[in-house]
Chains A and B, each alone.
Chain A
């Protein structure tokens, strides 16, 4: 374990840029912390934190100049690996047929700075989605194989977080190139650094890094522990697959449907939701066409449409599909829950629907078909 100061964090950004990486990190934009390209640590949300509740998210000024003093915002890293809208190919008419051309733009080379532990887990989950037993999504995997990941451990939690119960945080255990824990105390403002990959080690060697003292390591561990101890929400995952599979006719679904607006916010902010659709566009001449892929949501009516109509016309059926997929069928599909406990769907739901308490309502109701859970 090593420690570095802020200027060395800046140096990391510089080295990565020189190495050809587009460095992405947290910035303040339109009243939220989002992920975008950064040039230096001056772009980071210095001294900003966030306050989150069911149905609300607010930026607040902190009384220190921390760089990572917020939790998670509305965006996740999936927008880089799995862009919201992306051209797959274009084609031009040729005779009675057509010719397809692929873009020859180089695959982006991203360095992600500030990946939270739950977000890292979300990336592992999408790795399984876009590289299934039969097919590989080439864009996702090409970007993914090039990524440099700097995770930053959480030293506080939002009231909406429940990563501890989902075993996905607050400390990143593996899958990063470098991990940092930000410490601000009377000894100063520093980062405890852990490197996990060869690339991470090489980069650390170029820094003025000190060997971390026992005290510094302890301070970092305590900061992470405070995030864990202050976590208010939790998800009881015991037997959750059976719970949801056997309660598809539970009255709570209809009750949720009276509140849910089917706005799809929850699926858009969720770092693991992967549903998308294809769109074909044509220019006015009809001789040039493009195939685009864009995010879709199980909350949209068109989503389950086939020639005969939609399979899920009620809000009840759509919310049930979303939650049952996230927490139950995902386990059958990918061997892992589809939820990492980041709390985004709770904060960004305009009516404050809380996935953890909806599960509890079904579990604790006398109508629960699975007894003794």
Chain B
């Protein structure tokens, strides 16, 4: 039998490391952000790529796979923006500054920011899907000259569900980026677009030959977004999606997150659409 090239791992990949909650705050009614730092060693740095995720462990309760939403060039702390939907995320939402939780990661594939150089970038996100793409947005804005036109299309349920509103505004002011936001249901204060996120494509000038798209959101929204992008002439291999599956180990061992031949945790979560075209259409795969 083959021995692992690196021998046995020094750190058992199943054992969480202790990290401390530096800050925790609500972004919207049911979405919150936690900032984490290393508990013991102040000088240790977090290293990850935009699009990767961590397994966050609440003592005695369990783990949840959460994508990283901070700026990957700032290595002293990590931000996770979390939708409070299940048991673990509910417990995480009640943490206080100074509490210790467990962390395993980073895991998974990342957004193709190298391949994207020189291209126009079109990011389409729905709901919490903005969080896994925020590290990419930071990266592109920081290296703005390396990329062509930059468009961010974002759909939220209601105006009150819009994530990072202050940041969106400052990006719009400070950088060369076109940001279009739409909501499913408007209220009396809302002056912007209403409708599904794909309709926002009508407000941008895409140059399909040189556009790369990054899409993240509910699966049904991604499906429509991809269809729409293809209709606009963007090629399948230039479209990237981030998939969600049930993950337990994040190591490609437990089998839970299989998607056709892929383990979402290890081969994804970010996939080139051309790799998943066949199976994106099949129900219940």
Contact = CB atoms under 8 A, between A and B. Distances in A.
A366 interface: no
B254 A102 contact: no
Give the interface residue-count category, chain A. 35 or more
A196 B254 CA distance: 33
B256 A282 contact: no
A305 B246 contact: yes
Nearest to B2: A131
B202 to A, nearest CB: 28
Contacts of A199: none
Interface in A173-232: 175
Contacts of B63: 278, 280
A228 B83 CA distance: 57
B8 interface: yes
B254 A280 contact: no
A18 interface: no
Interface string A107-126: 00000000000000000100
Contacts of A298: 255
A134 B109 CA distance: 12
A97 B283 contact: no
A175 B2 CA distance: 12
A141 B4 contact: yes
Contact of A138 (B9, B89, B283): B9
B284 interface: yes
Contacts of A291: 14
B255 A275 contact: yes
A248 interface: yes
Majority SS at the chain B contact face: loop
Nearest to A95: B100
Contacts of B18: 97-98
Contact of A144 (B1, B61, B102, B283): B1
Contact of A276 (B39, B248, B258): B248
B40 to A, nearest CB: 10
Contacts of B248: 276-278
B261 A333 contact: yes
A261 interface: no
Interface string A324-368: 010011001100000000000000000000000000000000000
Nearest to A275: B255
Interface residues of B, number: 50
Contacts of A321: 258, 285
A93 interface: yes
B254 A277 contact: yes
Given A96-B99, A100-B16, A136-B4, A129 B253 contact: yes
A335 B89 CA distance: 37
Given A127-B2, A144-B1, A307 B85 contact: yes
Contacts of B6: 136
Nearest to B218: A308
A134 B256 contact: no
B192 interface: no
A80 interface: no
A311 B85 CA distance: 16
B251 interface: yes
A275 B100 CA distance: 30
B284 A278 contact: no
Contact of A312 (B4, B8, B86, B284): B284
Interface string A77-103: 000000000001101010111101010
A296 B15 CA distance: 20
A296 B256 contact: yes
Nearest to B65: A306
Contacts of B59: 91, 93, 97-98, 289
Contacts of B89: 307
Given A129-B253, A142-B8, A303 B246 contact: yes
Contacts of A88: 14-15
A313 B249 contact: no
A331 B285 CA distance: 17
Interface string B168-181: 00000000000000
Contacts of A328: 261
B246 A274 contact: no
A274 B255 CA distance: 7
Contacts of A333: 261, 263
Contacts of B61: 280, 282
B255 A276 contact: yes
A258 B107 CA distance: 39
B46 to A, nearest CB: 18
Contacts of A127: 1-2
Contacts of B252: 132, 134-135
Contact of B4 (A98, A131, A280): A131
A282 B59 CA distance: 9
Nearest to A91: B59
A245 B262 CA distance: 13
B258 A329 contact: yes
A85 to B, nearest CB: 14
Interface in B236-285: 244-246, 248-249, 251-256, 258, 260-261, 263, 266, 278, 282-285
The 4 closest A-B pairs by CB, nearest first: A97-B100, A275-B255, A332-B261, A317-B284
18 contacts: A88-B15, A93-B59, A97-B59, A98-B18, A98-B100, A131-B1, A131-B4, A134-B251, A135-B251, A276-B255, A277-B248, A278-B249, A280-B61, A306-B245, A307-B83, A307-B86, A311-B245, A317-B283
Given A97-B39, A280-B62, 6 more contacts: A89-B15, A127-B2, A134-B266, A141-B3, A275-B255, A313-B284
Interface of A: 88-89, 91, 93, 95-98, 100, 102, 124, 127, 129-132, 134-138, 141-142, 144-145, 175, 245, 248-249, 274-278, 280, 282, 286, 289, 291, 293, 296, 298, 303-308, 311-314, 317, 321, 325, 328-329, 332-333
